Structure 1
Amino acid sequence: MPHALLETEEYVEQAYFFRVFRQRLEDSVPSQVILADLKEEILATTKLPMALEFLVGEMVLNGRMGEGMARLDHYFTEFQTYIISAAEDDYSRFDQRTALEILQYEAEYRIKDPTPAGMFVYHFECLSRNKLGYDAGMKAMAGDPIYDKHWSEWIMRTRLQLGTTDFADLICMRSQYSVDEYRRKNRNPDYQPAEPVLFGHKAGRIAYANRGRDPLYMFAALQRHLGYPAVPRPQPKTSQESLVGELKAKLINMEKRLTLLERESKNQLDISEFYVKPDTPAESPWKDAAEKERGEQES
């Protein structure tokens, strides 16, 4: 069962925590040191310092923050835990800095006047852009306290319809726009849908206009017209260190080429050194034992 929403000051401190954590990771500060320092910086009247103290212990024992967040399910949401765990997975290409930025933007959106529709679109776009998996990801979304029972049931049902029904149609069918269009076409102003409306008129209209198109276009339109939060995108690595590493590799390659050209000009190039040498078969231990036994018998 999802826990209740936290106080606004909790989300203010969470946004600060995720932002500073990401910035200090970029400065190559160890995660355990960051958590221990931020525990002293966070507002003491919130519950976040106690959560960070627990996470420090989990990092020492397991080396993963996601496992500690899963134990604090009364404070961190399932989606927050899922994002961090995905970044810490050994086989994942999902960057931890991107994960922290996603959670920072999410906490900043909760500080304002969040709506379940805006949060759903943000969560879904995070899964889509970063290829984090819809099955487990949408299960984690459904446990968020911002969604009531109708929202959670719709998310779980939508999870099973993604491969067969256009995503824009799924939003449009549960919007006020669909209800208004039915009333207009059938001249029945008293029509009431069988299921609760989840999206507003404008959101449904934008979804209707993007049927059959890439859902990312719809996400961008919803952000422009309705102020839904934008999803952070991973930045290309153009740091000075990576450029220096590339230059070093090119210089080493050039030195090898120049060495080969000099040796060739002096008729000292021996290409036999580039031949692939066949592996010598390993001697059998049974052969050595047999020869030893034969020597003992002869003596």
Structure 2
Amino acid sequence: MLDREEYVEQAYFFRILLERIGQNVPLQELMAQAKFELLASTKLPLAIDHLLGELKHSGKMNGGMAMLKHYFVPFQTFLIAEAETDRGRFDYRTALQILAAESNYRTAEQFTSAGLFFFQFEAICRNRLNYDRGLTAMSEDPAYPPAWQEWLLILRRQLGLVDLADMIFVRSQLYFDRRQRFGDEPPEAPILFGLPEGKIANSHRRKDPLCLFSAMQRHLGFPAVPKLEAIDPLPSLVPQLQRRIERLELRIKLMEEEQRGSLDITKYYRKGKAVAPGDDLLE
């Protein structure tokens, strides 16, 4: 785990990239500008220098992040790699939003392994990313204790065969207490989730995992995965409609002049050649 100030600067870095990425400025220039806004006492400016070199060499950033495993966790590299895939539908802006929110959560006082798991797994589910690569990257995150890392690899193998809520429930304190109540031997596997997580998971068995994530956020305060707001087409639609109405008005005016017999086509001549009616008036 890095120092808190590193994650604070990471969150700021990803956030300003997201804010400025729509300014038609190359990513290399945005990163170079952002580097001078960061704390010089952190290691992030040095990491950005390495990423800039990788961008210039290969045109992608995930390779440089993979080389800096001691600084960028594998899940961060996974998100950027998915965003840079040519055949994928995962937007780069969405990746930056998730990265900023995740880095911000790592600085929170209420940070827990369970909260990080639900955040990262929801990001994979909601954006339809590759589960195999995503869970592998999660299992290599140093924020998870060894018991968590082992369970994430088990989840990777059994996902799709066993319901997610069931896998969470059998690793919860609630399941352990029920086993003891009926005199059964306690489970050998370590407990990863508390009583609240176990209750919520038990009530969401055979349901959409997104409903499970939403319930965890409502009742336990776990962070929600950010979603890009839909682009409002109205600002660009109004000028388009205005131009079309102007064109229709001009054509109606020409038809009325033709019906009255007062249409003078000579005014549409340009250097001895006739132009299409209405085009000259629109200039």
TM-score of the superposition, structure 1-length normalised?
0.78
Unmatched 5+ stretches in structure 1: 263-299
SS of alignment partner, residue 158 of structure 2: coil
Report the structure number with the largest CA radius of gyration: 1
CA contact (8 A) 2:11 2:104 kept: yes
- Per the alignment, residue 230 of structure 2 pairs with 236
Say if 2:160 is the partner of 1:163.
yes
Q: 1:232 to 1:246 in 2, by over 3 A?
A: farther
* Shift in CA distance, 181/131, structure 1 to aligned 2, threshold 3 Å: same
Q: Structure 2: how far apart are the matches of 1:119 and 1:236?
A: 26
Map Cα deviations across residues 34-62 of structure 1 (whole Å, 9 max, x no partner): 11011111101100000011111111111
Residue correspondence of structure 1 range 90-169 to structure 2 within 5 A? 90-113=86-109, 114-169=111-166
Of 13, 17, 29 in structure 1, the residue corresponding to residue 13 of structure 2 is: 17
CA deviation string 1:226-263 (max 9, x = no partner):
11110011321225675379759x949x98xx8xxx9x
Alpha-carbon distance, 1:144 to partner: 0.6
In structure 1, the residue matched to 2:221 is 227
Give, as a single letter, the amino acid of the residue that structure 2 aligns with 1:146.
A
Pick aligned residue for 1:214 from 186, 208, 219: 208
CA distance in 2, matches of 1:52, 1:23: 18
Question: For residues 187 and 124 of structure 2, what CA distance do their matches in structure 1 show?
Answer: 30
1:72: how far off?
1.1
Aligned to 1:69: 65
Taking a change above 3 Å as real, the CA distance of residues 85 and 172 of structure 1, as seen in their structure-2 partners, is same
1:193 is aligned, of 160, 181, 187, to 187
Secondary structure at the counterpart of residue 223 of structure 1: helix
Measure, in 2, the Cα distance between the counterparts of 1:160 and 1:84: 24
What corresponds to 2:32 in structure 1?
A: 36
How far apart are the structure 2 equivalents of 1:144 and 1:194? 24
Counterpart among 175, 184, 190 of residue 178 in structure 1 = 175
Q: RMSD of the alignment, in Å?
A: 2.3
Structure 1 residues 42 and 200: CA distance shift in structure 2, 3 A: same
Contact persistence 2:8–2:107 (CA under 8 A): yes
Counterpart in the other structure of 1:53: 49
C-alpha spacing 1:136/1:244, structure 2 compared with 1 (3 Å): farther
Deviant stretches of 4+, over 3 Å: 239-248
Calculate percent identity across the aligned residue pairs. 48
Deviation at 1:187, TM superposition (A): 4.5
**Structure 1 residue identity aligned to 2:40:** A
1:222/1:61 Cα in 2 relative to 1: closer, same or farther (>3 Å)? Answer: same
| Unaligned segments of structure 2, at least 5 residues | 256-283
- Tell me by how many angstroms 1:28 deviates: 2.6
Q: Distance in 2 between matches of 1:208 and 1:171?
A: 8
* Deviation of 1:115 (Å): 1.0
Q: Do the aligned partners of residues 39 and 199 (structure 1) sit closer, same or farther apart at CA in structure 2, a change above 3 Å counting?
A: same
Tell me if structure 1 keeps the 8 A contact 2:179–2:186. Answer: no
